[in-house]
Each structure stands twice: as C-alpha cells, then as structure tokens.
A and B are shown apart, each in its own frame.
Chain A
C-alpha cells in the first residue's frame, strides 16, 4: 500500500502552486487568477469525487455505479460538443449516444470478459476503467465530429459536386467520413506509439505507487490501452455516422443549413 497523505501534506503541495503564481506575477503573465481558479477547481472536484467514490464503494450495488457512469457520460458528451465548432441540432444527443455506446460496451466487455472481475460492477475496477475509457473516447468523438462538420462546411462543394453528378450520399461523403474517423483515432494511436518511452501512463504509475509489481501494472496498462483504442474507434465512427445521417438526408441532399453559423 502507498504511504497515506495527510491534509497538511496536500496543503504543502498547494504551496508549490504559489511558485507559479509568483512567477506569473513577477513576469506579468496575467495567469495568476487562472492558476488559482484551476487549482481550486481541481481540488474541490477531486475531493468531492473522493467522497462520492468512498460512498459508492461501500454500497456494493451496480446502480450507483451505473448512475455515476451516466453522469460522467453526459459530462463527456457536453465537453465533446463544446469543442466542436460546427454544430447541428441534435449533436449533443448524437455525441452522447456515440460515447455511451462505445464506452459502456467496451468497458463492460473488459470488466466481465477480459479482466473477469466478479461481480463485474466492482467499483474499484469499474469506475476508474470507465473513467479512462470515457476520457479518451470523448477526445476521439469531439475531434471526429469537429473534422466532419468542418469538412462538410469547407469541402461542401466537393461533396455536393459528387451528389450533383449522381453519387449517393454515401458515395459523396465517403472520404469525408474516412478522414473524420481517422482524425478521431490519431491521439490514441499517437499516445500508444510513445507509451512507455516518452510517457509513463498514469494508471500504470498509479498501480506501481500503490504497491503493485511493475509486471502486473504493465499488463493492466496494455489491456486498458486496447480497450481505449477500440472505444475511441467505435465512438468516432458512431459520432461521424450519426452526423452523416443528420447532415445528408435520404434524398441525397447536403443539409449545410443545419450547421449553425
């Protein structure tokens, strides 16, 4: 087990933040306020989460876990849409569906099928894994959605040109779909490429800090990365296909007007 941290020690760490505030003040970077707000936010959020998780862990019932998962998904969908510039009516629901579908399916498979956790909703595993999967899927979904809607805005004439020559909506938008899904996958692929070399993943280091042997920690990390990659792919694809359905109608028309300015 890792060494417990007292509240005093947390405050000591917060003092380190003071260093950056001081720097900002001396160099007139104007970041002091932002640093303080970000630091305070982070502390409050995490303390709250710690409280809630402690409470949930004690309950040993799947419902609060699913509830937390749902709240996390809604927040993830909101964040994903928030980062997308071209929005259409219903984009939030689509983002939610894509993130929910991919994250829950893959986390469920990982917990019950691969890690064989019994019961599968064991909070110690379910919550952190779902959290990691959601966080990465959200990035993929938002990038893919953003790329797709902006390509249809800018590259609109290429898609429309094909439609005008008799292409079905799928033939016309196929390469746009492809590019968007690929864009959604890039961060995951990039992070996998340098994992262990340039970056030491948080979960693995966390497990090692908590006393797990590096061998076990590494295997967990590998499993988790595959789950994350699969969920990002599925989520990106889902989000793009839903956006495709919203922006190209069954009469093979591009509905550019649905993209709010």
Chain B
C-alpha cells in the first residue's frame, strides 16, 4: 500500500438489522474500509469495535467468523461446488458447525439455482456464479456482520434482487445481524440500503 492517507475521521456505527451502504468515488478507499473492518488490513490509527470489544482484543479467526468480508472477485476454486462450500467448515473456528448440503441447496434455490448446481465443477463457474457461491459460502457460516465488497457486481439484475431478498431473510432470522456493502450500482444502493455512509478522500 502506498503511504498516501486515504481517509480519516471516519466514524461509523452499524446497528442490528441495518444495511449500510458505503459510497464514494473510485479510489477513495471503500474496499480498504471494509478490509479494515474485517481486520485484513491494518488501520494507521483508530479502532474497530464489535459488541463493545476492540478488534485488537479478539482472536482474529473468532472476529472474522462473526464479521465476514467477501472479496469482489472470488478466488478460483477447484472440486465441486459442494466441496468448495464445505471447505471452511474444516477451520477450527467453525468446528461447532457442520456442513449440510440441504442448507446449501436451499440457499442456492433462493438464488434461482437448481440443487444439481452443487455437483458442478467449481473451476468452471462464471464470474456471477462464483459470486453466488461465495455469498452462499459465507451465509452457511452464519456470520453476524457481512461486509460485501461489490459482491453482486457480476450478477444480472434479476439474480441481484434475489440475492438482496436472501440477504434480507438472513438479516431477519438472526438475533443481531447487520450488513455493510459497497456497490457501484446506484439503483441497488438506493433500493437496498437503510443508510448511506459517504466516504470522501482527504482534502477532497
């Protein structure tokens, strides 16, 4: 990372059930903000808090099991979609959870994919399908906060709306869940956000 300071004095709070959109011009550091919230990039100053506890006092796997960040472009996967979805259940932090393909099939169905989709070769997914799989993979782990970095950018309008509905269901079913997202689709932002956080660069 360059030593250029992207933003400062950002003070945001996300409450239960909220769908916060982070908005701002390209290069202002929206991704960086989300990555910092997930603890994937260090902040030069400041602190991220989760339920009254600073990030620095959380073991990171535990923190990220709750605050999950989805990359804009999912990494290439191998094996079947099902195997790819099951992979994170092998991490120690998710030891208490178990992967059930029925759950995965149900989520995929909400996104308009048949259950045969689970047996597909994960390496041959299109960009949009890979985004769907990444979304399902995160939802199966039932995080508390989802950080979506243009996570539906490659979906067609119809599927994107299905994804929004699915996310809303996820928000409604958990005790205290929240969503923070970055989207270049202005319509999606207007339609889906309960609040918009404008990010402006230093000196902008």
Contacts and interface: CB of A to CB of B under 8 A. Distances in A.
Interface of A: 155, 157-158, 160-168, 171, 251-254, 257
A155 B88 CA distance: 17
Q: Which one of B61, B87, B92 has the highest number of Cβ atoms from chain A below 10 Å of its Cβ?
A: B61
A165 B88 CA distance: 7
Interface in B29-78: 38-42, 60-62, 64-65, 68-71, 73-77
Given A251-B39, A254-B40, A165 B68 contact: yes
Given A165-B65, A251-B42, A252-B61, 9 more contacts: A158-B75, A161-B75, A164-B38, A164-B64, A164-B70, A165-B141, A168-B92, A253-B39, A253-B60
A253 B42 contact: yes
Contacts of B88: 162, 165-167
A168 B75 contact: no
B64 A253 contact: no
B1 A257 contact: yes
Nearest to A159: B75
A164 B68 contact: yes
A166 B40 contact: no
A160 B137 CA distance: 14
Interface of B: 1, 38-42, 60-62, 64-65, 68-71, 73-77, 87-88, 90-94, 134, 137-138, 141
Given A155-B75, A171-B91, A165 B40 contact: no
Contact of A157 (B1, B74, B93, B94): B74
B79 to A, nearest CB: 12
Contacts of B64: 163-166, 252
B139 to A, nearest CB: 11
Contact of A164 (B69, B87, B93): B69
Contacts of B141: 165-166
Contacts of A252: 39, 60-61, 64
B62 A166 contact: yes
A158 B76 contact: yes
A105 B37 CA distance: 45
Contacts of B65: 165-166
Nearest to B1: A257
Q: Which one of A158, A164, A167 has the highest number of Cβ atoms from chain B below 10 Å of its Cβ?
A: A164
B124 to A, nearest CB: 17
Contacts of A157: 71, 73-75
A167 B138 CA distance: 13
